[in-house]
């Protein structure tokens, strides 16, 4: 159905207004965040006067924040690598192998996504304590990586299902070993899914606070750093860094969108 | 046998039921229908035939109410139809992919329209039963659509539309998703159903064989305009344009020059009653025969040609001929042994029907 | 087509990892719930004491009930906001649909923490809302009741979960073949009747998925109360958190966690069964 039907074209102004209100609700806090990051008199009060970039300047001189950003990036990169590797293997296993406990495995892998973060975080804490692993960026990295495996698995599994099986069969038929076939045929076909999963895992890891809350040691990730400051009091610096995070996210979305639409055009 | 759903037509058979007056439809800058005017008679089986993009589906959707005409009006016995939303028109549609409601079973699907109209429960039950009986799907009354085959779903879709006793039934290429044998079977079922029930059918297809087999009249659409309308026999025997001649059945197009009552091309000439100048003729392949086989033919036009290809299809075969001047002509003859080489062919001059460009 | 070696190679590493880093930790949590604490150390004495404590102490039930109420409110409000939005986008937005969809998604990429923080700055005594109300002379003094209350928690969580609820509902609405909507109208049902008889039933799986997600995650949320809940807005996960923190009773905390876990899994199993019954593909 390419043509818009008359039933849809019959606009409902009531519904449109309601939708606009919902949109406003969703964006209100974000707008407030951005606007007040530029407000000289800090957060609160109304209306904001005195535009300033001072908070951003202060932010750039704040080494603690940037240290935490660096930590977050390291953890996120590690989580992406770990989750993608294990997730890819798991997706291949789901697609091609049958083993006892397959359903249990699938449910188990999904648990971190559907359970409240506190449960996963505390469980991993108990585990770290038991094996006497000191809490640090490493424990955070292990936590993120394990919790996000199913994100990779779901995405890659979908990609595998969509792939034309016969390409692999043709490759084997022409004499390539399974190893070669994987790298020359399967892997390139999964490129889009891999990128999608990577982006998603990266974002989720950068943003993660619930599980991280129980696994951190001396080094902080960005959410932890922000959390710490929130406990001490509100400063517009937090608005500034939040706005930057928002901007970075939007850029990522645009990039992702372009990648996806470009690949859908043959 | 099936029990017919009795209808009380508000329009006598033969009278005009639906009228399209200079209807145009534009999507953005694309003009899909151009000032099309058409009358549909009550009780007839009219087919809208055309290629994709010809506007036939759009026309159907205009009548159903899913689109609004950009210009022009649609009238249904004395009242304007186009301002009405689809749920107020006495028109029902059988969709191409059937559009059965997956969350309702067969009976509930068929009852849907009656339910919407607020009919009492007992009446609904009876009419649904009759309608299912008419399409021979009673035993599937409680089945869900997902469990049915394509042909079965199609019949339920038909029952669902007909149970409402619409003035006009629209069928949007309902058979295109079925395989060849099932298609033929459903075609004859549809035809006899329409005769039995007496409801006016407006059928859309791109398959000209289907159109010819089923219809009382065929309306050929081309690029949003009505190319020709008439009974299947009329259109086949007397195509008005080259397009019609080529779309319906196969034909040879003869490009000739007329001078003093004789049409001439490089290969032959024959008498005709066209004015001087260039003229186009349609000559059906079955009109051409081996000269040796047709000694008594009237107004014979002879030519020789080489047989290039022989395409066998059971009872008949199609010969692809090449004349000395290089013209390619096609002849349909009763199947015989394999042939080759140059032969003499003949056709009767009146079989060459003049057509417009 | 795939050799045994291949199948073993792809399945063993993830299984081992998941067993070690997911199964074992959850199992450990489960085990802890049967232990007890004494003199600052944990005794592996395998008893049901913690569960008995939970059942008999009214404080826990109070908090649990409040948590359930908050979670239910969040779910209901998110649906009230998210469903019409999804419906509007799917059926009424025309060519702008794709763009609007992206606009709904964008806030999801804004950190949870950041959005919670934003609400803090809006609802506080010197927050934006109070400033706005005073600016309009609707109030003369700041209202302290906005922040640090269950209301603030519900507001914040609704804000977080409305896009989450929107996504599966939108997906299932988009999944509805448009010819079905046309068929319904063709058969005489008005747009309103079409919505209730065709669109809503077919969108139930998505609705259910979204509602489950919002409810389950709200139930176990501990950050929103810490940010905007105050003492009256404490939820069950905060109890767990303090038991693993200052209150130092890991086994009891584990017991509550197990309870949350079992409750969550129960809800998920229930809704999965419902979803299967209501899915019509």
HEC readout, chain C: CCCHHHHHHHHHHHHHHHHHHHHHHHHHHHHHCCCEEECCEEECCCCCHHHHHHHHCHHHHHHHHHHHHHHHHHHHHHHHHHHHHHHHHHHHCHHHHHHHHHHHHHHHHCCHHHHHHHHHHHHCCCCHHHHHHHHCCCCCCCCCCCCCCHHHHHHHHHHHHHHHHHHHHHHHHHHCCHHHHHHHHHCCCCHHHHHHHHHHHHHHHHHHHHHHHHHHHHHCCCHHHHHHHCHHHCCHHHHHHHHCCCCCCHHHHHHHHHHHHHHHHHHHHHHHHHHHHHCCC
Q: How far is CA C62 from the centre of its chain?
A: 20
Asked if residue C222 lies in contact with residue C241, where contact means CB atoms within 8 angstroms, the answer is yes
> Å from C58 to nearest chain A CA?
23
Spell A14-35 as b/e; 16+ CB within 10 A means b: eeeebbeebbeebebbbebbbe
pLDDT at A265 over 70: no
Task: Tell me the three state secondary structure of residue A39.
Answer: strand
Return residues 4-23 of A near B (CB < 8 Å). Answer: 5-7
Q: Find the closest chain B residue to C279 by CA distance.
A: B103
List all residues 6 or more positions away from C70 whose beta carbon is below 8 Å from its beta carbon. C150, C153, C154, C157, C218, C233, C235
Average of pLDDT values for C202-231? 93
Task: Tell me the CA end-to-end span of chain C in Å, nearest whole number.
Answer: 31
Whether the CB of B67 is below 8 Å from some CB of chain A: the reply is yes
> Å from A133 to nearest chain C CA?
13
pLDDT at C107: 85
pLDDT at A2: 37
pLDDT digits 0-9 by tens, C28-46: 999 999 998 887 777 888 8
pLDDT at B49: 96
Asked if residue C36 lies in contact with residue C50, where contact means CB atoms within 8 angstroms, the answer is yes
Asked if residue C257 lies in contact with residue C220, where contact means CB atoms within 8 angstroms, the answer is no
Whether the CB of A2 is below 8 Å from some CB of chain B: the reply is no
pLDDT digits 0-9 by tens, A108-133: 888 888 889 999 999 999 999 999 99
pLDDT digits 0-9 by tens, B308-349: 999 998 899 999 999 999 999 999 999 888 888 899 999 999
> Å from A1 to nearest chain B CA?
11
Q: Within chain B, which residues score under 70 in pLDDT?
A: 1-11
pLDDT at C143: 79
pLDDT at A263: 66
Asked if residue B287 lies in contact with residue B252, where contact means CB atoms within 8 angstroms, the answer is no
List all residues 6 or more positions away from B144 whose beta carbon is below 8 Å from its beta carbon. B102, B104, B105, B106, C280
Whether the CB of C95 is below 8 Å from some CB of chain B: the reply is no
The 10 Å Cβ neighbour count of residue C172 is 22
Average of pLDDT values for C241-246? 90
Contact residues on chain A for C261, CB-CB shorter than 8 A: 115, 119
How big is the A-C interface in CB pairs under 8 Å? 260
pLDDT digits 0-9 by tens, A223-252: 999 998 887 776 788 888 888 888 888 888
pLDDT at A58 over 70: yes
Query: What is the DSSP code (8-state) at residue A41?
Result: T
| pLDDT category of residue A4 using cuts at 50, 70 and 90 | very low
Contact residues on chain C for B160, CB-CB shorter than 8 A: 187
| pLDDT category of residue A8 using cuts at 50, 70 and 90 | very low
β partners of residue B264: B257, B269
Site of tokens 């639906």: B18
CB contact under 8 A, C7 and A99: yes
pLDDT at B2: 37
> Å from A266 to nearest chain B CA?
24
Contact residues on chain A for C82, CB-CB shorter than 8 A: 22
- The mean pLDDT of chain A is 86
d(CA B122, CA B192): 28
CB contact under 8 A, A210 and C32: no
Question: Which has the minimum average pLDDT: A6-20, A61-75, B18-32?
Answer: A6-20
**Considering only CA atoms, which of B183, B130, B182, B139 is closest in space to residue B160?**
B130
Strands of the sheet containing B45-49, edge to edge, are B91-94, B168-172, B200-205, B45-49, B217-222, B225-230
**Burial class of residue B344 (count of CB atoms within 10 Å of its CB; 0-12, 13-18, 19+):** exposed
Query: What is the DSSP code (8-state) at residue A182?
Result: I
pLDDT digits 0-9 by tens, C73-84: 999 999 999 999
pLDDT at B4: 38
List all residues 6 or more positions away from A190 whose beta carbon is below 8 Å from its beta carbon. A88, A156, A159, A160, A163
CB contact under 8 A, C180 and B99: yes
Nearest CB neighbour to B87, from listed C179, C190, C280: C190
CB contact under 8 A, A23 and C85: yes
Dihedral pair phi/psi, residue A11, rounded to 5° = -65, 145
| Residue predicted with more confidence, A140 or C117 | A140
Q: Is B60 left (phi over 0), alpha (psi -120 to 50) or beta?
A: alpha
Query: What is the DSSP code (8-state) at residue A43?
Result: S
The 10 Å Cβ neighbour count of residue B220 is 27
| Residue predicted with more confidence, C209 or C130 | C209
Site of tokens 């702008």: C96
Q: Find the closest chain B residue to A10 by CA distance.
A: B85
d(CA C183, CA B149): 20
CB contact under 8 A, B58 and A5: no
d(CA B263, CA B278): 9
């Amino acid at each position: 159905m390419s043509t818009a039907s008359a039933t849809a074209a019959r606009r409902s102004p009531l519904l449109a207004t309601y939708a606009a209100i919902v949109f406003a609700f969703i964006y209100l806090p974000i707008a407030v965040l951005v606007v007040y990051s530029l407000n000289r008199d800090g957060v609160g009060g109304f209306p904001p006067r005195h535009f300033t970039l001072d908070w951003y300047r202060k932010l750039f001189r704040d080494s603690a924040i940037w240290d935490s950003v660096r930590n977050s990036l390291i953890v996120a990169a590690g989580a992406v690598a770990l989750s993608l590797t294990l997730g890819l293997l798991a997706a291949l296993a789901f697609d091609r192998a049958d083993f006892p406990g397959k359903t249990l495995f699938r449910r188990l892998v999904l648990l971190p996504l559907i359970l409240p973060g506190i449960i996963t975080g505390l469980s991993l804490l108990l585990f770290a304590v038991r094996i006497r692993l000191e809490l640090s960026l490493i424990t955070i990295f292990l936590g993120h990586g394990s919790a996000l495996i199913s994100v990779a698995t779901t995405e890659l599994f979908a990609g595998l299902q969509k792939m034309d099986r016969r390409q692999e069969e043709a490759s084997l038929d022409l004499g390539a070993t399974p190893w070669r076939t994987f790298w020359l045929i399967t892997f390139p076909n999964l490129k889009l899914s891999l990128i999608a999963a990577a982006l998603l895992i990266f974002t989720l890891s950068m943003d993660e606070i619930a599980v991280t809350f129980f696994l951190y040691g001396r080094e902080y990730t960005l959410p932890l750093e922000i959390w710490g400051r929130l406990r001490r009091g509100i400063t517009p610096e937090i608005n500034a860094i939040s706005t930057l995070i928002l901007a970075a996210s939007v850029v990522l979305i645009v990039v992702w969108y372009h990648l996806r639409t470009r690949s859908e055009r043959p | 046998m099936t029990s017919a759903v009795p209808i009380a037509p508000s329009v006598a058979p033969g009278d005009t039921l639906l009228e399209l007056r200079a209807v145009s439809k534009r999507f953005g800058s694309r003009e899909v229908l151009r000032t099309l005017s058409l009358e549909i008679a009550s009780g007839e089986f009219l087919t809208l035939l055309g290629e994709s993009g010809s506007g036939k589906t759009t026309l159907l959707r205009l009548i159903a109410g899913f689109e609004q005409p950009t210009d022009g009006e649609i009238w249904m016995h004395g009242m304007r139809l186009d301002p009405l939303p689809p749920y107020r028109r006495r028109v029902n549609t059988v969709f191409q992919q059937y559009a059965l409601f997956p969350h309702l079973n067969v009976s509930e699907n068929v009852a849907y329209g009656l339910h919407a109209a607020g009919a009492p429960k007992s009446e609904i039950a009876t009419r649904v039963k009759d309608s299912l009986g008419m399409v021979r799907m009673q035993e599937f009354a409680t089945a869900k659509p997902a469990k049915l085959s394509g042909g079965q779903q199609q019949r339920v879709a038909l029952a669902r539309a007909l149970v409402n006793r619409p003035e006009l039934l629209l069928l949007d290429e309902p058979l295109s998703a079925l395989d060849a044998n099932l298609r033929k079977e459903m075609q004859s079922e549809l035809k006899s159903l329409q005769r039995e029930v007496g409801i006016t059918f407006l059928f859309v297809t791109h398959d000209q064989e289907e159109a010819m087999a089923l219809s009382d009249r065929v309306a050929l659409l081309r690029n949003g305009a009505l190319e020709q309308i008439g009974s299947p026999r009329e259109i086949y025997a007397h195509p008005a344009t080259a397009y019609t001649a080529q779309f319906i059945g196969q034909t040879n197009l003869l490009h000739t020059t007329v001078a003093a009552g004789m049409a001439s091309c490089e290969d032959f000439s024959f008498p005709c009653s066209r004015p001087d100048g260039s003229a186009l003729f349609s000559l059906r392949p079955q009109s051409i025969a081996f000269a040796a086989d047709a000694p008594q033919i009237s107004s014979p036009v002879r030519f020789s040609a080489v047989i290039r290809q022989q395409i066998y299809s059971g009872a008949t075969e199609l010969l692809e001929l090449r004349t000395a001047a290089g013209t390619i002509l096609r002849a349909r003859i009763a199947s015989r042994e394999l042939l080759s080489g140059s032969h003499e062919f003949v056709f009767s001059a009146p079989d060459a029907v003049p057509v417009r460009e | 087509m795939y050799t045994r070696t291949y199948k073993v190679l792809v399945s063993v590493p993830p299984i081992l990892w998941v067993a070690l880093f997911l199964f074992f930790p959850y199992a450990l949590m489960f085990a802890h719930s049967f232990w007890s604490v004494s003199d600052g150390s944990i005794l592996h004495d395998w008893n049901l004491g913690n569960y008995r404590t939970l059942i008999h102490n009214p404080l826990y039930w109070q908090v649990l009930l409040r948590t359930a109420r908050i979670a239910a409110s969040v779910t209901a409000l998110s649906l009230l906001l998210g469903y019409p939005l999804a419906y509007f986008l799917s059926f009424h937005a025309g060519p702008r649909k794709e763009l609007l969809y992206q606009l709904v998604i964008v806030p999801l990429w804004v950190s949870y923490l950041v959005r919670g923080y934003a609400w803090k700055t809006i609802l506080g005594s010197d927050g934006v809302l109070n400033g706005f109300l005073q600016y309009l002379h609707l109030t003369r003094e700041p209202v302290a009741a906005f922040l640090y209350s269950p209301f603030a928690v519900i507001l914040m969580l609704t804000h977080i979960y409305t896009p989450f609820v929107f996504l599966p509902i939108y997906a299932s609405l988009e999944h509805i073949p448009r010819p079905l909507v046309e068929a319904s109208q063709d058969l005489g049902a008005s747009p309103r009747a079409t919505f209730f008889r065709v669109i809503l039933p077919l969108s139930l799986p998505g609705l259910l998925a979204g509602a489950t997600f919002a409810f389950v995650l709200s139930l176990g949320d501990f950050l929103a109360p810490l940010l905007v809940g105050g003492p009256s807005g404490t939820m069950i996960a905060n109890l767990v958190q303090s038991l693993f923190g200052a209150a130092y009773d890991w086994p009891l905390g584990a017991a509550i966690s197990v309870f949350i876990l079992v409750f969550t899994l129960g809800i998920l199993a229930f809704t999965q069964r419902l979803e299967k019954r209501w899915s019509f593909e």
